[in-house]
Amino acid sequence: MGLGDICPGIPYAISVLKTVGFRRSNSGTEILETEQMKQGKFLRLLNVAALLVALSSVTAHADELHSLISGGQNRNYLMHTPPGWQPGAPVPVVIALHGMLQSEEGMNSYLGLNQVADREGFVVVYPHGLGNAWKDGRAPQLRMTFWSPPSDDVEFLSKLVSTLVEKGYADPSRVYLMGLSNGGYMVYRMACERPELFAAFATLSATVPSYYVNSCKPSRAVPTLMINGTADMIVPFYGNGLAGSMSLLPVMQTAKLFATINGCDKPSEAPVPSRGSFGGTSVTLIYWNNCRDQSAVVLFRVNGGGHQSPSIGEGRVTPMGLQMLGLRNHDIDAAEEVWAFFKHYDLSLTASIPSGGQRASIGGNQRATTAQ
């Protein structure tokens, strides 16, 4: 039994990595050692499924719609604030990037992120990609966003962060970036190009173009959490087998890329206890420890999982369009795991640490075990 089974809202990664053994200190967030620790078929399927997602997304309750000007274009973002929040009182902010053709409301209804925000007291911002898509660093043929007008999404997201800080909404040291599918690819692009804006990153059902091996040179370590299904037909876990600019890295190679960037030691892994998830899926936690700048790389490998994000409990609706994209696991909850990872990172505690400086250790060389 994991700690999440005993204390609702405390996800499995935290129970394994000791409670994940995080501790605040003057030198930063410290992660302590503990004892408990080809293409055509896919693209056609993506087109049909994404359209169904757009048509079938369940609309959540309306939050505040805001806009800003970026690159001469009017860009919108939906902002969800927790109960009791007041303007001028900066709080942690999670910026959540929707998948291709997915609405901002549809992303929340799928993940239940607003429920976590209401309980934990952070703001969620859902930016809108023009044409419901992001210019995410992949070749245009892979993005298939021919209907989307030209835009500079790196500039937009950078300006969004500065706007949220200037308006007193966001604590500048605790802004986090997560994304689903097309949005997840965009998260990786921002981690490589603008890592100084975000305290940590999380991706759901995404990987990186193979050229990132040589081009991704972030100015700081980038704490990264990944959730990927091994039976994902849209984002193949083992790579897409294409050459040149069309090539995508296998998921494990993507994790290893960021582990290398972060200067981490070899990975450890542990099975996640089953909650009785049906359909033959299971979850394995793989994590890289002893990383520089107090960072970490965590991968939840959903064995047998499709192009889906795991969920537990109410408020996580699987639209009809996504039901055709494989099995959805129910042993962990993506929104809970993302926030559990994010909340231990703070730029004010780590940004000044020089490259190769202080390191964090998750469980040493011990095999992780579940809390009893």
* Domain ranges for the chain: 38-360
CB 91 within 8 A of CB 170: yes
Please name the residue ranges forming H helices in 228-367. 251-261, 320-323, 334-342, 347-350
Please name the residue ranges forming H helices in 194-295. 212-215, 251-261
Mean pLDDT of 19-23: 40
Looking at per-residue pLDDT, the higher value among 269 and 370 belongs to 269
Q: pLDDT tens digits for 99-157?
A: 887 888 888 888 999 999 999 999 999 999 998 889 877 766 665 555 567 789 999 99
CB 19 within 8 A of CB 29: no
Q: What is the DSSP letter of 209?
A: B
* Cα separation, 295 vs 335, whole angstroms: 20
- Rounded to whole angstroms, the maximal C-alpha distance in the chain is 56
pLDDT of residue 142: 61
Looking at per-residue pLDDT, the higher value among 214 and 241 belongs to 214
Tell me: pLDDT of 91 over 50: yes
Query: Regarding the domain with residue range 38-360, which homologous superfamily does it belong to in the CATH classification?
Result: Alpha/Beta hydrolase fold, catalytic domain (3.40.50.1820)
CB 126 within 8 A of CB 103: no
Q: pLDDT tens digits for 36-77?
A: 334 444 444 445 444 444 433 433 334 899 999 999 999 999
* Cα separation, 203 vs 205, whole angstroms: 7
pLDDT of residue 323: 64
Query: How would you class 155 by CB atoms within 10 Å of its CB: exposed for 0-12, middle for 13-18, buried for 19 or more?
Result: middle
Tell me: pLDDT of 26 over 50: no
* Cα separation, 336 vs 10, whole angstroms: 8
Structure tokens at 1: 């039994």
Q: Across the chain, what does the average pLDDT equal?
A: 79
Mean pLDDT of 83-105: 90
pLDDT of residue 141: 64
pLDDT of residue 275: 86
Tell me: pLDDT of 364 over 70: no
Query: How would you class 302 by CB atoms within 10 Å of its CB: exposed for 0-12, middle for 13-18, buried for 19 or more?
Result: buried
Looking at per-residue pLDDT, the higher value among 10 and 253 belongs to 253
pLDDT of residue 148: 67
Percent of the chain with pLDDT over 90: 53
CB 97 within 8 A of CB 186: yes
C-alpha dist (Å) from residue 73 to 57, 129, 245, 250: 26, 12, 29, 35
**Out of 82-86, 182-186, 217-221, 276-280, least confident range:** 276-280
Residues 6 or more apart in contact with residue 15 via CB below 8 angstroms: 2, 3, 4, 36, 370, 371
CB 176 within 8 A of CB 202: yes
Q: pLDDT tens digits for 161-195?
A: 999 999 999 999 999 999 999 999 999 999 999 99
Q: pLDDT tens digits for 295-332?
A: 999 999 999 999 999 988 765 666 555 566 889 999 99
CB 355 within 8 A of CB 293: yes
* Cα separation, 196 vs 307, whole angstroms: 30
pLDDT of residue 222: 96
* Cα separation, 310 vs 112, whole angstroms: 11
Percent of the chain with pLDDT over 70: 70
* Cα separation, 367 vs 1, whole angstroms: 16
The most confident of the ranges 9-18, 129-138, 355-364 is: 129-138
